[in-house]
Chain A
Amino acid sequence: MQKEEVIVVKQLYKSFGDKHILRGIDLTLHKGENLGIVGKSGTGKSVLAKCIVRLIEPDKGEINVLGTDVLACDDAELTEIRKKVGYLFQGGALYDSMSVRENLLFPVRRTQFVDKEQDSEELVENSLRSVGLLDAIDKMPGELSGGMKKRIALARALILKPEIILYDEPTTGLDAVTSGEISELIIKVKEEYGTASIIITHDMKCAKIATDNIQIMKEGVFVVEGKYDELSASTDKEIRDYFI
């Protein structure tokens, strides 16, 4: 049986000046699927993720998230959609001036996700527990390592119990062990929360562990799709090179 589609992108184009970044992207993400997007730097992977939550306005195309036309909706509708889409940024994007607790409370308070303050605190603690960093609750982002920042950022992305998570380079800049831990965490999140995810990565180990399917992006378009094992055993040298 065909699984429910949670993100559908059709013929998406985006240029910055005369630089064409996205050149007609088509993408479908199904419920409970972890889709990896692999490609060289500057091919437009992060731009695509930002277009999905309209952090960047595309020039042309269609984006449908959880049945809503993202490009046609107003601010209130967009906020509702964004509540259902967690976003893990490349560097974590934790608010420097706030403690870990405040970083996690921020989206809860802003979206009035729960009514009582006590419930918010409980939510923060549970979210931190799920990434194994409850001890860091009163630390400032400056006191955390790169891996801890990514975990806290993931806890923040998870706190509103999203249906979809967009991971933008979740393991970049981390050592092999921490990268492995983050990749395992992505799987754990999928199993515990039942989320669908798009994982943008250069890290093939992460792609192997955390993705169900992989799309390879080249010069603003997807050139091939498949499972890790299929693609890594491809007869096409150019595709195989991504997996070295």
Chain B
Amino acid sequence: MKKLKLSRLSLKSIRISEEIRHSYNGLFIDLGELVVFTINVIKQLFRPPFEYRELIKQGFILGNKSFGLVSVTGFIMGLVLTMQMNPVLADFGAQSLLPSAISVAMVRELGPVITGLICAGKMSSGIGAEIAAMRVTEQIDAMEVSGTNPLGFVVTTRVMAAMITVPVLVIFADAFSLIGAFLAVNIFEDTSSTLFIDRSFSMLGFRDLMPATIKTVFFGFFIGLIGCYKGYNAGIGTESVGKAANSAVVSASLTIFVIDLVFVLITNLL
């Protein structure tokens, strides 16, 4: 009886280890395919015809769709952060550092990461769902038989559009967060806008701005790329549209954190 129980247990553990092996294999196959896809997209960036019209159209669509959400989030972040930090800094008599603290926190870390996450949610899912729907309804195939390379027309334009719009949206998020912070500061005490701006930028240097800007370009690249990859490799049927969108958001959000970590490590080394 005991032997039978043991053999059942070992069978179960073999099955579980098999499942883990399969899921790991799937992960590596997925990663391998993503690398090949990325190489093809990068190659396509330098191969004519260059789809300027589609790039501008996609840039406008992506930027326009996310601008409102990014601005409101930035504004609220600045407002809340200031209201939370003010009493703490007041305890140390360092209230004058508030604008600098907010601007450094927002520009270096919070602005890019929060905007990146919002864009991962809005852009990546949108791109993933759109391309998956195009795949399911054979629009991608129709492009190919029309003598158009869908990788150049559909994918590269969206990846480039995301690369351009995410950094611009981060700048807007940072600006709106400072407006929010300025309003919050004025709740506690009367501060002039000139003084606030002066203090905000006093501690911001090239070492803060450059890495933050460069990483947002990478955020944009991977947000676009993952959305396109998930959509382009969607399965058959409408169910795969939802799956592609969902999977794009999860993967893009995780990638944002990984890129952020890598950039923080690199910046600290320099």
Identify the A interface with B (CB < 8 A).
50, 53, 55, 79, 82-83, 85, 87, 89-91, 93-96, 106-107, 110-111, 156
7 A-B contact pairs sorted by A residue (CB < 8 Å): A89-B141, A90-B138, A91-B138, A94-B139, A107-B148, A110-B146, A110-B148
A111 near B147 (CB under 8 angstroms)? yes
- Determine the distance from Cα of A110 to Cα of B137 in the docked complex, in whole angstroms: 21
Q: Which of A55, A82, A93 has the most CB of B within 10 A?
A: A93
Which residues of chain A are near B137, meaning CB under 8 Å? 91, 93, 96
B147 near A107 (CB under 8 angstroms)? yes
Q: Which residue of B lies closest to A88 (CB)?
A: B142
Which residues of chain A are near B145, meaning CB under 8 Å? 53, 55, 82, 85, 87
Which residues of chain B are near A89, meaning CB under 8 Å? 138, 141-142
A93 near B147 (CB under 8 angstroms)? no
Q: Tell yes or no: B144 within 8 A of A by CB.
A: yes
Which residues of chain A are near B147, meaning CB under 8 Å? 79, 82-83, 107, 110-111
- Determine the distance from Cα of A22 to Cα of B144 in the docked complex, in whole angstroms: 22
B142 near A50 (CB under 8 angstroms)? no
A93 near B146 (CB under 8 angstroms)? no
The contact size tier of chain B is 10 to 19
- Determine the distance from Cα of A107 to Cα of B146 in the docked complex, in whole angstroms: 5
Q: Given known contacts A82-B147, A95-B142, A106-B148, what 10 new A-B pairs fall within 8 Å (CB)?
A: A53-B145, A55-B141, A79-B147, A83-B147, A87-B141, A89-B138, A93-B139, A94-B139, A95-B139, A111-B146
Q: Which of B133, B139, B144, B148 lies in contact with A55, CB distance below 8 A? A: B144
Which residues of chain A are near B134, meaning CB under 8 Å? 95-96
- Determine the distance from Cα of A93 to Cα of B133 in the docked complex, in whole angstroms: 10
Q: Which of B133, B141, B143, B145 has the most CB of A within 10 A?
A: B145
Q: Which residue of A lies closest to B141 (CB)?
A: A55
- Determine the distance from Cα of A87 to Cα of B141 in the docked complex, in whole angstroms: 10
Q: Which of A85, A107, A156 has the most CB of B within 10 A?
A: A107
Q: Which of B134, B143, B146 has the most CB of A within 10 A?
A: B146
B144 near A93 (CB under 8 angstroms)? no
- Determine the distance from Cα of A96 to Cα of B134 in the docked complex, in whole angstroms: 8
- Determine the distance from Cα of A117 to Cα of B222 in the docked complex, in whole angstroms: 37
Q: Which residue of B lies closest to A56 (CB)?
A: B141
Q: Which residue of A lies closest to B148 (CB)?
A: A110
B148 near A96 (CB under 8 angstroms)? no
- Determine the distance from Cα of A79 to Cα of B142 in the docked complex, in whole angstroms: 13
Which residues of chain B are near A87, meaning CB under 8 Å? 141-142, 145
Which residues of chain B are near A93, meaning CB under 8 Å? 137-139, 141-142
Which residues of chain B are near A110, meaning CB under 8 Å? 146-148
Produce 1/0 per residue, B142-163, CB < 8 A to A.
1111111000000000000000
Closest-CB distance, B20 to chain A (whole angstroms)? 22
Which residues of chain A are near B142, meaning CB under 8 Å? 87, 89, 93-95, 156
Closest-CB distance, A225 to chain B (whole angstroms)? 26
Q: Which residue of A lies closest to B49 (CB)?
A: A110
Q: Which residue of A lies closest to B53 (CB)?
A: A109
- Determine the distance from Cα of A55 to Cα of B148 in the docked complex, in whole angstroms: 12
Closest-CB distance, B192 to chain A (whole angstroms)? 48
Closest-CB distance, B232 to chain A (whole angstroms)? 14
Q: Which of B133, B138, B139, B144 lies in contact with A82, CB distance below 8 A? A: B144
A106 near B141 (CB under 8 angstroms)? no
Q: Which of A53, A79, A96, A106 lies in contact with B133, CB distance below 8 A? A: A96
Closest-CB distance, B141 to chain A (whole angstroms)? 5
Q: Which of B133, B139, B147, B148 has the most CB of A within 10 A?
A: B147
- Determine the distance from Cα of A111 to Cα of B141 in the docked complex, in whole angstroms: 16
- Determine the distance from Cα of A111 to Cα of B134 in the docked complex, in whole angstroms: 21
B144 near A106 (CB under 8 angstroms)? no
Produce 1/0 per residue, B102-134, CB < 8 A to A.
000000000000000000000000000000011
Closest-CB distance, B242 to chain A (whole angstroms)? 17
Closest-CB distance, A167 to chain B (whole angstroms)? 13
- Determine the distance from Cα of A111 to Cα of B49 in the docked complex, in whole angstroms: 11
- Determine the distance from Cα of A124 to Cα of B74 in the docked complex, in whole angstroms: 47
- Which A-B residue pairs are the 8 nearest by beta carbons? A107-B146, A93-B142, A93-B138, A89-B138, A79-B147, A111-B147, A87-B145, A110-B148
A106 near B138 (CB under 8 angstroms)? no
Closest-CB distance, A147 to chain B (whole angstroms)? 17
Q: Which residue of A lies closest to B144 (CB)?
A: A55
User: Which B66-115 residues have a C-beta within 8 angstroms of A?
Assistant: none
- Determine the distance from Cα of A70 to Cα of B164 in the docked complex, in whole angstroms: 39
Which residues of chain B are near A107, meaning CB under 8 Å? 146-148
Closest-CB distance, B44 to chain A (whole angstroms)? 12
